[in-house]
Amino acid sequence: MSEVQDVLKAYERFIQLPWSDYLSGQEKVWFIVYDPAQERRIRLRIPEFQVVTTKAGYRWKLIDITDSFAEWMAKIDYRDAYFENPADMDPMLQDYIEHLVAKVVSELNTPDADKKTVVAISGIATLFGLARASLIIDQLTAHIKGRLAVFFPGSYDGSVYRLLDARDGWNYLAIPITAEKGN
C-alpha cells in the first residue's frame, strides 16, 4: 500500500476506538502525520477520511486554512507597502495569527461542532514561514468539544512534531496518527 492508504487505514482503525469525555484540550488533538511529499495525495483523499468518520458514527467538519493568509492580506489597506518591503511584515503577523485563531474558534463554536464531531484542519503547511503551528493549535485547545484532526505534513518522533521536517520541533500532547507499515 502507499503511505496515503496506510495513513487512511490507521485513521480508520483509530476513529473506531471509544472516545473519552475526560481529556484535556491538548489530548483531543489528533495529528494525521505524513510525508510532506504526499500533501497533494492526502488532500485528494480527504473525502475518504470524512466517509470513514461518518461510518464510525461521528460527524465531520473540514476547515481549510490554505488561503487564510491571502484572504487576510487582501483586506489590509497597506498591503502594497508590504510587498515593497516584506521585512515590514513581522509586526503584522501577530494580527494574522489572531485573525486565523478567531476564524477557527468561530468554527469550533458552531452547533455542528459538538462532542461527536471531528473538526479537521487542512492547509497547516501554509503557516510555514508565517506562524508556528504550535501557537495556533495551543490557542484552539480550550474550544475543542469533540476532536480536532490536523492534517500534518511533517514528522513525528517520540512526542516531537516537525512541520515540513524543516523547523525545530515541539513537544505536544496530541495523538499522532501515522502510516503503519505492513497493513
Read off the pLDDT of residues 49-80 as tens digits, 9 standing for 90 and up. 999 999 999 999 999 999 999 999 898 887 78
Please indicate, yes or no, if residue 173 is contained in any of the structural domains. Answer: yes
Query: Residue 69: how many CB atoms within 10 A of its CB?
Result: 19
pLDDT per residue over 84-139, tens digit each?
777 777 778 888 999 999 999 999 999 999 999 999 999 999 998 888 888 899 99
Please indicate, yes or no, if residue 183 is contained in any of the structural domains. Answer: no
Gyration radius (Cα) of the chain, Å:
17
- Pairing mode, strands 147-157 and 117-122: parallel
pLDDT at 169: 62
Please indicate, yes or no, if residue 182 is contained in any of the structural domains. Answer: no
Global pTM value:
0.91
Q: In the predicted model, what is the mean pLDDT of the chain? A: 89
Please indicate, yes or no, if residue 87 is contained in any of the structural domains. Answer: yes
**1, pLDDT greater than 70:** no
Q: Give the separation between CA 67 and CA 149, rounded to whole angstroms.
A: 19
**149, pLDDT greater than 70:** yes
Crossing angle for the helix pair 90-108 and 133-140, nearest 10 degrees?
40
User: Do the Cβ atoms of 149 and 46 come closer than 8 Å?
Assistant: no
User: Average pLDDT of 26-43?
Assistant: 94
Q: What angle do CA 46, 48, 54 make, to 5 degrees?
A: 110
pLDDT at 183: 40
pLDDT at 42: 97
User: Do the Cβ atoms of 100 and 68 come closer than 8 Å?
Assistant: yes
Please indicate, yes or no, if residue 14 is contained in any of the structural domains. Answer: yes
**83, pLDDT greater than 90:** no
List the one residue out of 183, 181, 178 whose CA is nearest residue 152: 178
Please indicate, yes or no, if residue 149 is contained in any of the structural domains. Answer: yes
User: Average pLDDT of 19-31?
Assistant: 92
Please indicate, yes or no, if residue 74 is contained in any of the structural domains. Answer: yes
Alpha helix stretches (DSSP H) within the chain: 3-15, 39-55, 68-74, 79-84, 90-108, 133-140
pLDDT at 171: 60
Query: What is the band of 182 on the pLDDT scale with cuts at 50, 70, 90?
Result: very low
Please indicate, yes or no, if residue 131 is contained in any of the structural domains. Answer: yes
pLDDT at 134: 87
The domain tally of the chain equals 1
Look up the domain containing 136 and give its range.
3-18+27-177
Q: Give the separation between CA 36 and CA 54, rounded to whole angstroms.
A: 26
